[in-house]
Amino acid sequence: MAFIIDGKKIAAEIKDELKQKVTKLTEDGVAITLAVIQVGNDPASSVYVGNKKKACEYVGINSLSYELAESTTQEELLSLVEALNADAKINGILVQLPLPSQIDEDLVIKTISPTKDVDGFHPQSVGALSIGQKGFISCTPGGVIQLLKRSGIPMEGKECVIIGRSNIVGKPMALLMLRENATVTVCHSRTKNLMEVAKRADILIVAIGKPLFVTKDFVKEGAVVIDVGIHRDAENKLCGDVDYQDVLEHVSAITPVPGGVGPMTIAMLMNNCVEAVTKSK
């Protein structure tokens, strides 16, 4: 029987551990403040931002909201980010993506001070990760590592195949698995014989952005499957990039959707906010 990796429970454990740390910091007179910027009112972004603020409240982190109009110019957003960079009371800056088309996302990310880059998207954070130096780790891939570690799933020496090479999931995921001494293969839309490559995996991490794409034909008997995807199916129910029911009997462990990787992203954001005051980046 497959072991179901309970992301909700592990995320709750992490948030409880952080809450204890934050209580101690507060007793020592150290406050943590996260600035959350949302441009426009995309409903999905509003839900994500709302969940992040709720998590801050739970852990004991102050969150300051900046809700800007859809028509905000690039200059206006950049000057807000620069003001927050210069404000010593702000420890973390999060700009909810995607941004409206008049704004260059890469430029905004680059403008955030690397010392406050709690999303881990700044080129300096990504570069530091790639050469094994200190820096913030992108929350979703960081969450996957915690899921594996806290479920007692060894990574060292394992064949890990990652499907997807995006800057926010696939690429940092590959660097983190390398850091854990896995043997890593990264697949993308030009990969030949994807099924055969995926079937080599002891640990298969799927971040392809296509609902129910990965079936049992992609999975080696006894593999661990981590599903990063989030979608709504035809009945408006949440599902992942993996056809969970189809692969379930073939795997040794798997993350469900919902309740797998999703809750970990916010827990790791909280972790990065705490690290912003406890570790120099």
Residues in touch with ligand NAP (CB under 6 A) = 140, 163-166, 168-170, 187-191, 194, 207-210, 228-231, 241, 261-262, 265
The three-class DSSP label of residue 235 is coil
- In the chain, how long is the greatest CA-to-CA distance? 57
Q: How far is CA 197 from the centre of its chain?
A: 25
Q: What is the DSSP pairing of strand 238-239 with strand 3-4?
A: unpaired
Task: Please say if 52 is a catalytic residue.
Answer: yes
CB of 73 to ligand NAP, least distance (A): 26
Task: Please say if 106 is a catalytic residue.
Answer: no
Q: Catalytic residue among 15, 38, 96, 158, which?
A: 96
CB of 232 to ligand NAP, least distance (A): 11
Task: Please say if 202 is a catalytic residue.
Answer: no
Give start and end residues of each alpha helix (H) in 151-242: 170-179, 194-198
* Angstrom distance (rounded) from CA 195 to CA 233: 23
Q: Which is nearer to ligand NAP, 10 or 230 (CB)?
A: 230
Q: Catalytic residue among 117, 119, 202, 227, which?
A: 119
Q: Which is nearer to ligand NAP, 42 or 76 (CB)?
A: 42
CB of 208 to ligand NAP, least distance (A): 4
Q: Which is nearer to ligand NAP, 84 or 142 (CB)?
A: 142
Q: Does the N-terminal peptide bond of residue 263 adopt cis geometry, omega within 30 degrees of 0?
A: no
CB of 109 to ligand NAP, least distance (A): 14
Q: Which is nearer to ligand NAP, 45 or 191 (CB)?
A: 191
Q: What is the DSSP letter of 134?
A: S
Q: What is the DSSP string of 86-130?
A: H-TT--EEEEPSPPPTTS-HHHHHHHS-GGG-TT--SHHHHHHHH
Give catalytic residues, as residue numbers.
52, 96, 119
